[in-house]
Copies of this chain bind each other. A is one copy, B any other.
Amino acid sequence: MEEIKIFAPATVANLSCGFDVLGCCLDNVGDEMYIRKNNINQVRITRITGQDLPKETDKNVAGVAVQVLLKNLKSTLGFDIEIDKYIKPGSGIGSSAASSAGAVYAVNKLLGEPFTLKELIPFAMEGERLASGNAHADNVAPALMGGFSLVKSYQPLEVLSLPTPPQLRVVILHPLIELKTKDSRAILKENVYLKDAVNQWGNLGAFISSLYTEDYELLGRSLEDKIIEPVRSILIPFFDDLKKIALKNGALGFGISGSGPSVFAMCKGDATATHVKEAMQLFYKEKGIDFDMHQSKINTQGIKIL
């Protein structure tokens, strides 16, 4: 295989109760990437459409991730990377993760799969480090593996794949204000109250349980965050109103997607998701704020070959 075309999905990290450890993969929101071997022993970003992003290999998350992978293999092969970018950077739905994960996935395929999907995670994380200063795995893991991922630990890195309740749907509202992950991390405090942490791990435990038992109501009740949400939600226009509207219209739970400004509503079934989407849409239109919206099932496959 000399070239490959892939779909690199958007992802929702943190999911309220799982800051830095939990994420899930979306199905109909993502980038397209073309990756092919070249003869010049260099990794090049040859085309980016849709967004204004750096094309210098060392400044592009896909370029950096692929170079780390090749270095690990002591390979001097070169690749050309083209990205049709549909996920907006700084939206909070894993824009950089899609590019990093997509690029290492594609290169791994073209090399005959020297690495498993899980083994690709650390390479993709290097893209995240470039994007946000922090090599987190809660977007790249679900992008690569699909479904829900839990980062059990970072040192050593251990990621679990979790089951996906089949009727789960995600509604995303992206207020068109840019919020850099770097800035959104900077406002977090280094310390948290032990009692809030206890509350958080009780909820995360219940969330994990709900995935195995397909208990949608419990899943919704577990989407609670007394640590990060109170701080970050201030940066999101009308966050509290949106949350009330989503829950009133039948959402199981609601929170900040990744580091924001996108917010997500988890819903059971397409009808409820549509209903929640329309209610949030109507409210934001009335407020006169520009936004994008998505409605998706959970993508249990991850990156797809097109």
* Chain A residues proximal to chain B, CB less than 8 Å: 17-22, 150-154, 158, 160, 162, 188-195, 197-209, 212, 218, 221-222, 224, 227
Contacts and interface: CB of A to CB of B under 8 A. Distances in A.
A202 B151 contact: yes
Given A21-B205, A153-B202, A227 B160 contact: no
Q: How many copies does the complex hold?
A: 2
A198 B19 contact: yes
Contacts of A206: 150, 152-153, 158, 160
Contacts of A203: 152-153
28 contacts: A18-B201, A19-B198, A21-B202, A22-B205, A150-B205, A150-B206, A150-B209, A151-B202, A152-B205, A152-B218, A152-B221, A153-B206, A162-B209, A190-B195, A191-B191, A191-B192, A191-B193, A192-B192, A192-B193, A192-B197, A200-B201, A201-B204, A204-B204, A205-B205, A205-B207, A205-B208, A208-B209, A209-B212
Contacts of A22: 205
Contact of A21 (B188, B198, B224): B198
Nearest to A212: B212
B221 A158 contact: yes
6 smallest CB-CB distances across A and B, nearest first, come from: A152-B206, A197-B197, A201-B201, A212-B212, A208-B208, A21-B202
A62 B132 CA distance: 54
A216 to B, nearest CB: 15
A153 B209 CA distance: 14
Contacts of A160: 205-206, 209, 218
Contacts of A198: 19-21
A221 B221 CA distance: 28
Contacts of A212: 209, 212
B205 A18 contact: yes
Contacts of A194: 188-192, 227
A217 B94 CA distance: 31
Contacts of A17: 201
Contacts of A201: 17-19, 21, 197, 200-201, 204
Contacts of A150: 202, 205-206, 209
Interface centre among A18, A151, A154, A198 (most CB of B within 10 A): A198
Question: Which of the listed residues A195, A206, A212 has the most CB atoms from chain B within 10 Å of its own CB?
Answer: A206
A154 B20 CA distance: 24
A152 B202 contact: yes
A150 to B, nearest CB: 5
A204 B201 CA distance: 7
A154 B199 CA distance: 8
A256 to B, nearest CB: 16
Contacts of A152: 202-203, 205-206, 218, 221-222
